[in-house]
């Protein structure tokens, strides 16, 4: 919404638009509207109807964080079809890995080449841009991208290619539909990694089957721009009065969440806790609900750093790890580095 508001202001059209931020609606003086919504619950979008006309255009930002079924639900909200009200679906995203459904649905079927920048047909239009097309980057931003040494991250973030995964850290996970099992989960383990602008606030909601050494990640929160007073109800809607173990680097945020009724405690994070936690998670079976797209994306691409010769180091790249960090915090009581929590169950 903020990006659209900036465009309206920069174009000098502010007097023609009214913004209702709480409802996520921008209304033009001619009666037509832009509706904003998240895809955390696709049932909510089924009732979305503009006051005037029909929904013709849908733009999905960070589309790689969405589920294929959610996009299908979105397209069912569209109306029109004649020349005057043609339906358009726009997906904007950074490419991630070639096994992603977006690559399979749109790129693989046209034999997309890495050096392509455009593709156009009556049904599909693709435009690829890189950092070289971004006039707003600073010199430091450009240098950071141009000096990237990891092959995967250079391909994806510098060159705009779809990545081929190499030495990923986690291979002990799978995706299942856990909707029918969630009511049976009782051994709740929840973790929170704080974020705001560039990084998301990431909440991992899990159940631990200790006998089978299996972690079930059955819900998640992965959202940027949430202040703690807005974050608290999002957390409570998912875990209620259960405990959540949070990144101890933000004691003020933990205190504020507690003030808003969240049972938040600080992770201990002892020496070498990152690698120790990763090693412990690697010894478990991790089952991720099919609706938890952000968790699936992170576990797919989380990798070790490499030396100049391409050899993997036992130091993880500090990217795509927000829900993974949250999961480490949630299970510190199972390792030697964290607090012993009484009453998790």
Enumerate the domain spans of the chain.
2-133, 173-334
Residue 308, φ and ψ in degrees, nearest 5: -65, -20
pLDDT of residue 81: 52
**Predicted local distance difference test score (pLDDT) of residue 192:** 98
Choice among 38-47, 141-150, 201-210 with the minimum mean pLDDT: 38-47
At 5-33, the pLDDT tens digits run 999 999 999 999 999 999 999 999 999 99
pLDDT for position 343: 39
Q: What are phi and psi of 159, to 5 degrees?
A: -100, -10
Please give the average per-residue pLDDT across 41-49, as a whole number: 74
pLDDT of residue 111: 86
pLDDT score for 338: 43
What architecture (CATH level 2) is domain 173-334?
2-Layer Sandwich (3.30)
CATH topology of domain 2-133: Rossmann fold (3.40.50)
- 118-139 confidence digits (pLDDT tens): 999 999 999 999 999 999 999 9
pLDDT at 99: 79
Mean pLDDT, rounded, of the chain: 89
> In the prediction, which pLDDT does 65 show?
86
What pLDDT score does 104 carry? 86
What pLDDT is recorded for position 313? 82
Q: Per-residue pLDDT for 80 more than 50?
A: yes
- Beta bridge partners, 175, equal 288
What pLDDT does 211 receive?
A: 95
At 340 the pLDDT is 40
**Two structure tokens written together for 170:** 């986690």
If one counts every other C-beta atom within 10 angstroms of the C-beta of residue 225, the result is: 12
Contacts 24+ apart (CB under 8 A), 179-184: 179/289, 179/291, 181/216, 181/218, 182/218, 182/219, 182/289
Strand pairing class (201-209; 188-193): antiparallel
pLDDT of residue 84: 58
- Give the pLDDT confidence of 272-328 residue by residue, as tens digits: 889 999 999 999 999 999 899 899 989 988 988 877 776 778 889 888 899 999 999
How is residue 270 written in tokens?
A: 């002892």
Tell me the C-alpha distance between 332 and 195, whole Å: 20
pLDDT surpassing 80 at residue 43: no
Mean local confidence (pLDDT), 42-66: 85
Pairing assessment for the beta strands 125-127 and 25-28 based on DSSP bridges: unpaired
pLDDT in tens, 219-266: 999 999 999 999 999 999 999 999 999 999 999 999 999 999 999 999
pLDDT, tens digit, for every residue of 165-195?
667 899 899 989 999 999 999 999 999 999 9
- pLDDT surpassing 90 at residue 83: no
Answer yes or no: are the C-beta atoms of 305 and 317 closer than 8 Å: yes
Q: If residue 145 lies in a helix (H) or strand (E), which one and from where to where?
A: helix 139-146
pLDDT at residue 4 tops 80: yes
How many whole angstroms separate alpha carbon 177 and alpha carbon 67? 12
């Amino acid at each position: 919404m903020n990006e659209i508001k900036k465009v309206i202001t920069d174009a000098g059209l502010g007097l023609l638009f009214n913004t209702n931020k709480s409802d996520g609606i921008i209304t033009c003086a001619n009666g037509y509207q832009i509706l904003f919504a998240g895809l955390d619950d696709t049932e909510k979008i089924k009732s979305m109807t503009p006051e005037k006309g029909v929904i013709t255009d849908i733009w999905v930002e960070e589309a790689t964080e969405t589920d294929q079924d959610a996009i299908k639900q979105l397209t069912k909200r569209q109306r029109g079809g004649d020349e005057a009200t043609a339906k358009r679906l726009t997906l904007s995203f950074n490419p991630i890995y070639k096994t992603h459904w977006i690559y399979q649905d749109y790129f693989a079927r046209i034999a997309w080449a890495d050096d392509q920048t455009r593709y156009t047909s009556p049904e599909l239009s693709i435009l690829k841009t890189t950092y070289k097309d971004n006039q707003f980057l600073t010199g430091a931003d450009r240098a950071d991208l141009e000096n990237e040494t990891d092959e995967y991250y250079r391909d994806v973030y510098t060159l705009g290619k779809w990545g081929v995964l190499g030495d990923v850290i986690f291979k002990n996970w799978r995706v299942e539909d856990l909707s029918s099992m969630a009511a049976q989960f009782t051994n709740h383990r929840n973790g929170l990694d704080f974020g705001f602008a560039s990084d998301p606030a990431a909440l991992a909601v899990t159940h631990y089957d200790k006998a089978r050494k299996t972690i079930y990640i059955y819900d998640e929160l992965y959202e940027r721009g949430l202040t703690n007073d807005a974050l608290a109800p999002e957390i409570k809607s998912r875990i209620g009065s259960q405990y959540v173990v949070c990144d101890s680097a933000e004691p003020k945020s933990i205190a504020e969440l507690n003030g808003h009724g969240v049972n938040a405690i600080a992770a201990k994070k002892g020496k070498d806790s990152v690698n120790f936690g990763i090693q412990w998670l690697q010894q478990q079976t991790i089952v991720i609900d099919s609706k938890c797209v952000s968790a699936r994306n992170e576990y797919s691409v989380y990798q070790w750093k490499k030396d100049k010769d391409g050899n993997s180091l036992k130091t993880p790249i500090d990217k795509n790890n927000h829900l993974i960090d949250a999961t480490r915090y949630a299970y510190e009581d199972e390792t030697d580095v964290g607090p012993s929590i009484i009453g998790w169950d």
